[in-house]
Amino acid sequence: MDYAADPFPAGAPDGPIAVVCHAHPSVSKGGAEIAAYTLYEGLNKLGYEALFIASVPESDRAKLALGSARERAVFFDPISYDHFYHLSTPAPLRDLRAIIAAERPAFVNFHHFMNFGIGAIRAIASDPNLTAVVTLHEFLAICHHHGQMITRPAKLLCDRSSPSACGTCFPEQTRQQFALRKNLFMDAFGSVAGFVSPSRFLAKRFTDWGLQDEAIAVIENGLAHPAVRTPPRPRHDNTPWIFGFFGQINPFKGVDTLLRAVEMIGRSKSLSRRIQIRIHGNFVGQGEAFTTRFKTMVDDYDCLSYAGPYDNASVGRLMSECDYVLMPSTWWENSPVVIQEAYAAGRPVICTGIGGMAEKIKDGVSGLHFRVGDIADLVHVLDKAAHPAMLAELTAGIPAVTDAEDMARAYLAAFSRFRAARAQPAPEVIGLPVEDDDYNSAKPQARLEA
């Protein structure tokens, strides 16, 4: 369900609100940590007492820059973390518990389980004096493949997990291990009051997996400092249309799709004069063969340029120098911050028409969709977009952007309702469905309270 404003109509919560995240944005600038920190800032702007607690690798102590005395760091050793079951050593939980005991928050909002481990969620949620809520940012609880729900090695979109299907992707693990992994997550998640999902698509995947629909609030991620929306760039007859990519250049973000599109565009003199693809971002997880091909294509194709890494503070200005923002991801995505950044800058988005992207970007309204992996369709859509009338129509359809305070208000309303629901008599305990006919071992049960 969606949650709106009017949180805590009877007054402020009876204690601070702790936002717990698997990383600090001064060390890592992923979408989850940016969203968590934006919520923290929004709560502070509204006058609520907020606390930001981040886990930080011991090796990154020197990079850490806490913004105030209300920010805390829990250090951990990444080598000791189990990435299959997502279990950590006792030290991070011990330090987290010490902070919770000293600050006595009314609410604890986990923005991930990584680094702290799922045992930390269960342990903190067991405290009767606080209400624990988990924000879901991707499919990592469901999918061991980086939470992408992409098969390996074929890299096909996956619609549903099961011990058998996951065992096919990871033959080094048994089906029993995948069943146990899910049970451990359900046990930990069964202890919390509720969940927040930034998209309905992500929420639906988790209800299909086993969470109760009533236990998930859909709340859009906000922007801490939205850019000022700028009008479309001035155009002349010979001005090329600039389509900008912004984000990590990793195997899932679809830059390879853009390179293949560039090859097709380069074979057409008319298209290569009209269309310019500009890529902003840093390379993450790409092999030498890809980076060599990328750099060679930048040199060989006039319709392709690389603008290098960028700072989030300048993203609005950089987007305003483009006509459209490109999002060619080959995985489902959830609620990528780049969409909100593009809307804030006043730029329509061209995206793969799947998952959270298709939900956030309305085809023909605030952007255009193309079929995943279909290079000809992508080039067709780029050509379709490169017209003043189309740009004007899509620009007019760009929705308002959620800011930090709007995001915080929605979270506060969800926190209040989750706590009220938790005070009601517990519903019947529900069991987990057996997903493999040949897997008949006893499964622990999870209680998810509306």
Give the CATH number for residue 185.
3.40.50.2000
Cα(408)–Cα(43) distance, integer angstroms: 5
User: Are residues 90 and 127 located together in one domain of the fold?
Assistant: yes
**CA distance readout (Å), 431 to 197, 211, 287:** 23, 11, 44
What's the token pair of residue 426?
Answer: 């517990």
Residue 401 lies in a domain: no
Angle (nearest 5°) at CA 134 between 21 and 90? 60
User: Are residues 314 and 412 located together in one domain of the fold?
Assistant: no
For 362-420, write each residue's pLDDT tens digit: 999 999 999 998 999 999 999 999 999 999 999 999 999 999 999 999 999 999 999 98
Helices then strands, counting H and E runs in the chain, come out as 15, 13
What's the token pair of residue 310?
Answer: 């960028």
Give the pLDDT confidence score for residue 8 in this predicted structure: 61
Residue 33 lies in a domain: yes
pLDDT > 70 in the chain, percent:
91
Give the pLDDT confidence score for residue 3 in this predicted structure: 47
328 pLDDT band (50/70/90 cuts)?
very high
267 pLDDT band (50/70/90 cuts)?
very high
User: Are residues 264 and 175 located together in one domain of the fold?
Assistant: no
437 pLDDT band (50/70/90 cuts)?
very low
Residue 2 lies in a domain: no
Residue 440 lies in a domain: no
For residue 439, pLDDT beyond 90: no
For residue 43, pLDDT beyond 70: yes
Tally of CB atoms within 10 A around 78 = 14
User: Are residues 280 and 337 located together in one domain of the fold?
Assistant: yes
User: Are residues 271 and 385 located together in one domain of the fold?
Assistant: yes
Mean pLDDT (whole number) for 101-128:
96
Residue 228 lies in a domain: no
Cα(422)–Cα(126) distance, integer angstroms: 12
Residue 346 lies in a domain: yes
For residue 6, pLDDT beyond 70: no
227 pLDDT band (50/70/90 cuts)?
confident
User: Are residues 250 and 338 located together in one domain of the fold?
Assistant: yes
Give the pLDDT confidence score for residue 12 in this predicted structure: 65
Mean pLDDT (whole number) for 200-208:
96
* Poorest-pLDDT segment among 24-28, 212-216, 226-230: 226-230
User: Are residues 342 and 208 located together in one domain of the fold?
Assistant: no
Mean pLDDT in the chain? 90
Number of domains composing the chain:
2
For residue 424, pLDDT beyond 80: no
User: Are residues 160 and 287 located together in one domain of the fold?
Assistant: no
Q: Domain range holding 208?
A: 17-222+406-422
Residue 444 lies in a domain: no
Give the pLDDT confidence score for residue 252 in this predicted structure: 87
For residue 445, pLDDT beyond 50: no
Residue 442 lies in a domain: no
Instruction: Convert 429-442 into a string of H (helix), E (strand) and C (coil).
Output: CECCCCCCCCCCCC
Give the pLDDT confidence score for residue 65 in this predicted structure: 94
User: Are residues 284 and 307 located together in one domain of the fold?
Assistant: yes
User: Are residues 179 and 44 located together in one domain of the fold?
Assistant: yes
141 pLDDT band (50/70/90 cuts)?
very high
What's the token pair of residue 413?
Answer: 């309303």
Instruction: Convert 235-291 into a string of H (helix), E (strand) and C (coil).
Output: CCCCCCEEEEEECCECCCCCHHHHHHHHHHHHCCHHHHHHEEEEEECCECCCCHHHH
Cα(123)–Cα(125) distance, integer angstroms: 6
User: Are residues 143 and 292 located together in one domain of the fold?
Assistant: no
pLDDT > 90 in the chain, percent:
82
User: Are residues 129 and 273 located together in one domain of the fold?
Assistant: no
φ, ψ for residue 369 (rounded to 5)?
-105, 150
For 271-321, write each residue's pLDDT tens digit: 999 999 999 999 988 889 999 999 999 999 999 999 999 988 899 999 999
For residue 205, pLDDT beyond 80: yes
For 151-196, write each residue's pLDDT tens digit: 999 989 999 999 999 999 999 999 999 999 999 999 999 999 999 9
447 pLDDT band (50/70/90 cuts)?
very low
Partnered with residue 243 across adjacent β-strands are 277, 324
For residue 433, pLDDT beyond 80: no
Instruction: Convert 100-151 into a string of H (helix), E (strand) and C (coil).
Output: HHHHCCCEEEECCCCCCCHHHHHHHHCCCCCEEEEECCCCCCCCCCCCCCEC
